[in-house]
Structure 1
Amino acid sequence: MTPDRPGRPTLRDVADLIGVHPTTVSRALNPKSRSQVGAETVRRVEKAAKELGYRPNPIALSLRTARSGSVGVVIPDLTNPFFPPIVRGVEAALEPRGYDAWIVNTDNDPDRERARIESLRSRRVEGLIIATAQLDHPLLRELHDEGVRMVLVNRKVSAPAIPCVTPDDAAGIELAVRHLAGLGHTRVAHVAGPGHTSTGRTRARAFRHAVRDLGLDDDPAPVAEAASWTEAAGADALRGLLDRGPLPTAVVAGNDLLAFGCYDVFAERGLSCPGDVSLVGFNNMPFLDKLHPPLTTVGVPHHDLGAEAARMLLDSIEEPAHRPRSLLLPVDLVVRGSTAPPPV
Structure 2
Amino acid sequence: MRKRVTLKDVAAALGVHVSTVSRALDPKTRHLITPEVAEQVVAASERLGYRPNAAAYSLKTNRTRTIGVIVPDITNPVFPPIFRGADDALMRHSYIAILGNTDSSLRREAAIVDTLLARGVEGLIMASVTANDSVVGRLAQEGLPMVTVNRRVDDAGIASVAHDEREGVRRILTHLASLGHRRIAAIAGPQDLSTGRSRHQAFLEYRAAMGLAEDDGLVVFAGGFTDAEGERCAEELLARDRGFTALVCANDLLAIGAIAALRRRRLSCPEDVSVTGYNDMPLADRLFPPLTTIRVEQYRAGHAAADLLIEMLAERSGSAEPAPARHIVLPVEMVIRGSTQALPAVSVARGRAKA
Q: Which TM-score band (shorter chain)?
A: over 0.9
Q: Secondary structure at the match of 2:220?
A: strand
5 Å-filtered alignment, 1:121-136, equals: 121-136=117-132
Separation in structure 1 between the aligned mates of residue 218 and residue 26 of structure 2, nearest angstrom: 57
- 1:137 lines up with 2:138 in the alignment: no
1:26–1:221 distance in 2 versus 1, CA, 3 Å: farther
Which residue in 1 is equivalent to 2:304? 308
Which residue in 1 is equivalent to 2:341? 340
Note the C-alpha offset of 1:38.
4.5
Separation in structure 1 between the aligned mates of residue 189 and residue 205 of structure 2, nearest angstrom: 16
Q: What amino acid is the match of 2:333?
A: D
Please, which runs of 5 or more residues in structure 1 have no aligned partner?
A: 1-5
- 1:59 lines up with 2:55 in the alignment: yes
Please, which runs of 5 or more residues in structure 2 have no aligned partner?
A: 348-355
Structure 1 segments, 4+ long, off by >4 Å, are 31-39
5 Å-filtered alignment, 1:90-105, equals: 90-105=86-101
- 1:47 lines up with 2:48 in the alignment: no
- 1:21 lines up with 2:22 in the alignment: no
- 1:231 lines up with 2:232 in the alignment: no
Which residue in 1 is equivalent to 2:77? 81
Note the C-alpha offset of 1:332.
0.9
Residues 278-313 of structure 1, C-alpha deviation per residue, up to 9 Å, x if partnerless?
Answer: 111100111111100000100101111111111111
Which residue in 2 is equivalent to 1:3? none
Separation in structure 2 between the aligned mates of residue 110 and residue 301 of structure 1, nearest angstrom: 26
Which residue in 2 is equivalent to 1:187? 183
Tell me which of 313, 316, 321 is aligned to 1:317: 313
Tell me which of 148, 169, 174 is aligned to 1:173: 169
Separation in structure 2 between the aligned mates of residue 69 and residue 30 of structure 1, nearest angstrom: 13
Separation in structure 2 between the aligned mates of residue 301 and residue 167 of structure 1, nearest angstrom: 8
Which residue in 1 is equivalent to 2:329? 328
Q: Secondary structure at the match of 2:186?
A: strand
Separation in structure 2 between the aligned mates of residue 233 and residue 223 of structure 1, nearest angstrom: 14
Separation in structure 1 between the aligned mates of residue 33 and residue 233 of structure 2, nearest angstrom: 60
Q: What amino acid is the match of 1:322?
A: P
8 Å contact kept, 1:194–1:200: yes
Tell me which of 273, 288, 292 is aligned to 1:292: 288
TM-score (norm 1): 0.94
Note the C-alpha offset of 1:10.
1.0
Which residue in 2 is equivalent to 1:7? 3
TM-score (norm 2): 0.91
Note the C-alpha offset of 1:160.
6.0
Separation in structure 1 between the aligned mates of residue 202 and residue 30 of structure 2, nearest angstrom: 48
Q: Secondary structure at the match of 1:16?
A: helix
Note the C-alpha offset of 1:97.
1.7
1:24–1:296 distance in 2 versus 1, CA, 3 Å: farther
1:24–1:222 distance in 2 versus 1, CA, 3 Å: farther
Residues 251-282 of structure 1, C-alpha deviation per residue, up to 9 Å, x if partnerless?
Answer: 11101111111121111111111100111110
Q: Percent identity?
A: 44
8 Å contact kept, 1:30–1:98: no
8 Å contact kept, 2:217–2:242: no
Separation in structure 2 between the aligned mates of residue 191 and residue 261 of structure 1, nearest angstrom: 11
Separation in structure 2 between the aligned mates of residue 178 and residue 294 of structure 1, nearest angstrom: 19
8 Å contact kept, 1:31–1:97: no
Which residue in 1 is equivalent to 2:237? 241
What value does the CA root-mean-square deviation take over the aligned residues?
1.7
Q: What amino acid is the match of 2:87?
A: E
Which residue in 1 is equivalent to 2:351? none
Which residue in 2 is equivalent to 1:250? 246
Q: What amino acid is the match of 1:334?
A: V
Q: What amino acid is the match of 1:262?
A: A
5 Å-filtered alignment, 1:149-228, equals: 149-159=145-155, 161-220=157-216, 222-228=218-224
Separation in structure 2 between the aligned mates of residue 279 and residue 336 of structure 1, nearest angstrom: 10
1:207–1:32 distance in 2 versus 1, CA, 3 Å: farther
1:281–1:34 distance in 2 versus 1, CA, 3 Å: farther
